[in-house]
Amino acid sequence: MNSIWNMYAKKADFSALSEKYKIDPVVARIMVNRDVPEEEMEHYLHPSLDHLHDPHRLKDVEKAVDLLLLARDRGEKIRIIGDYDIDGINSTYILHQALKRVDAVVDYAIPHRMEDGYGMNPSMVDKAKEAGVKLIITCDNGIAAREACSRAKEYGMTVIVTDHHAIPYEEIDGVRREVLPDADAIVNPHQADCAYPFPEICGAVVAWKLVFVLFERAGLGAEQAYDYLGNAAFATVGDIMPLRDENRSIVKLGLRAIANTTNPGLNALMERLKIDRTRLSAYHIGFLLGPCFNASGRLDTAVDAIALMEEMDPNRAIARAAELVNMNEERKALTKQGDERAFQIIEEEHLDEDHVLVVYIPELHESLAGIVAGHIKERYFRPTFVLTNAQDGGLKGSGRSIPAYSMYDKLHECEEFLSKYGGHPMAAGISMPKENLEGFRKKMNELANLTEKDMTPVVHIDVPMPLSYVTEELIHELDLLEPFGNGNEKPIFAVKHAPVKRISYMGKENQFLRFILGMEDGREMTALYFRGSEELEQQIREVYGDSAWDSAMRGMGNDIHLTITYFPQINEYRGNISLQALITGVKTDKMK
């Protein structure tokens, strides 16, 4: 895919910042690129628990705790209604464990993705009534569950909503008005009259903040809520929340908590996945641990993941972890089939000519729609919806967006086609009658208002940095900038026209490329490329010729030069340490 490479041009006295914070000027420059104010740089480099915001500033959090403690004192049954993704699983775990610690009578229910759909629904409220539940508390859902909340109130139940999703609204004469469910307390930092200073927290952090107040009021001491710091971090990464403000502290410190956890289930899962805890990062949550949690909610029930975290017997924990890993392997195989079918449909039906891609795959497992939508978006860089058949005879699906397109707002403009929708600017879930599919696709494209520039990914290069500048010390300093992710992207460095000394294939199927690149001072550095190796080979052959490629494969002289974006790494192999570059982008145009 073509991309635009832009160089950050933000100004500051990088030498002075380097001296003040005892860091390399490159690290100072990256912080400036990330818009970190100078007065916050010390906190950014060295996050602490002191940087977390006061939970009491959340609207209705005191009221919610009052209601929970009243139910506890009366011996009334409390039911948590969570969600089936990483955020919902951790939210449910946090509340369930915390309420048990204050001696509440509590259980939980997770909607079944296929049978119930997203969030609390009237059927789940009916089941709670039959079970004698007097108080329902939601987590990571509920803000759009008006019908279910109303049903609960008709039954005389107390309802607490804790959520972090966008507040539903109606717009009359250009004025937006929040449309809230009928609940006794609503804890959601996105409410217009909520004083919480950083609303971009996940559902598990909202639940965790409530637990601080709960433990404080119950006499346990608010500090005991830090026992769930790892869960808050896990959910923040898994729900792709921006790694800014307090989220950064939560994840940075929460990763340490996870690495040192005594939880048998989480320990068993890390052992099964062969994760080196000394190097645990946001990557391991996003791409290894998290998908195993999500797989339970996709192919079976998310109760399996909660049961793993609540399992105290090490042997049973090992068995539960194995089940989740196997389930995730099955999910990956089904996802690959879904990706291949989606790309085939797009090409055959010329959907790639649309500015908003709406892809209907009848045979796709509905739980995989969001993953496949994400993969399509990555390939075509268009807002994408993937829809499949739902059990009620209609269609159900997920959307993934690009920065220039607020998906939730556009869905609001097309709600006449939808039976249900919700989400964020960058992701959404939808349901609709089957006959509305084509009308929805046409209307979404009519309203798209996207330019070619909007639909071209932009790579922001932090520093043009010669490979010869890379040292072990610099790489260790770059670790201070972690965790990387949404809102705190991994730094991107660039070097122009690096001469290629040798090329070789690597990987079980020769699917990756290893380059030996020459440096400005005459030394050489290994650079690894883990993307489309065949496509890159073709590009190099077209620009430099077959003979140049063949010579490079034999380590012989050639005129190939690559302009690359990269991230430096330390490679440790059999006790030997060397520096290498992970190539993230390549341009193959000849030197001018």
Q: What percentage of the chain exceeds 70 in pLDDT?
A: 99
CA distance 167 to 164: 8
pLDDT(265) > 90: yes
What is the residue whose two structure tokens read 């997920």?
398
Closest to 591 (Cα-Cα) out of 563, 566, 564: 563
Query: Which residue type occupies 509?
Result: E
Q: Kindly report, residue by residue over 416-455, the tens digit of the pLDDT.
A: 999 988 877 888 999 999 999 999 999 999 999 999 999 9
Q: Residue 575 has what pLDDT?
A: 79
Three-point CA angle 217, 229, 106, nearest 5°: 50
Query: Which residue type occupies 284?
Result: H
Q: Residue 591 has what pLDDT?
A: 64
What is the residue whose two structure tokens read 């539960």?
320
Output the six-digit token pair for 71: 């139910």
Contact by Cβ (8 Å): 134, 72: no
Q: Kindly report, residue by residue over 377-418, the tens digit of the pLDDT.
A: 999 999 999 999 988 889 999 999 999 999 989 999 999 999
CA distance 332 to 283: 17
Contact by Cβ (8 Å): 554, 496: no
Q: Residue 173 has what pLDDT?
A: 84
Residue of 252 and 576 predicted with greater confidence: 252
Average pLDDT over residues 197-203: 97
Is 138 strand, coil or helix? strand
Average pLDDT over residues 473-489: 95
Residues 435, 436, 439, 440, CA torsion sign: negative
Q: Residue 589 has what pLDDT?
A: 78
DSSP structural state of residue 224: G
Query: Which residue type occupies 475?
Result: I
CA distance 154 to 376: 44
pLDDT(592) > 60: no
Q: DSSP alpha helices (H): ranges in 479-564? A: 533-544, 546-553
pLDDT(564) > 70: yes
Q: DSSP alpha helices (H): ranges in 155-272? A: 203-218, 229-238, 245-259, 264-272
pLDDT band of 1, cuts 50, 70, 90: low
SS3 content of the chain, % helix, strand, coil (to 5): 45, 20, 35
Q: Residue 174 has what pLDDT?
A: 83
CATH architecture of 349-446: Roll (3.10)
Q: Residue 118 has what pLDDT?
A: 78
Name residues whose C-beta falls within 8 Å of residue 510's C-beta, 6 or more positions apart in sequence.
533
350, burial (CB in 10 Å: exposed 0-12, middle 13-18, buried 19+): exposed
In sequence order, the β-bridge partners of residue 50 are: none
Q: DSSP alpha helices (H): ranges in 349-488? A: 369-380, 407-413, 437-446, 472-478
Q: Residue 177 has what pLDDT?
A: 92
Intervals of CATH 2.40.50.460 along the chain: 4-10+458-587
CATH architecture of 55-220: Alpha-Beta Complex (3.90)
490, burial (CB in 10 Å: exposed 0-12, middle 13-18, buried 19+): middle
Output the six-digit token pair for 74: 């009366």
Intervals of CATH 3.90.1640.30 along the chain: 55-220
Average pLDDT over residues 9-31: 97
| Mean pLDDT, the chain, whole residue set | 94
According to the CATH classification, is domain 4-10+458-587 in 3.40.50.1820? no
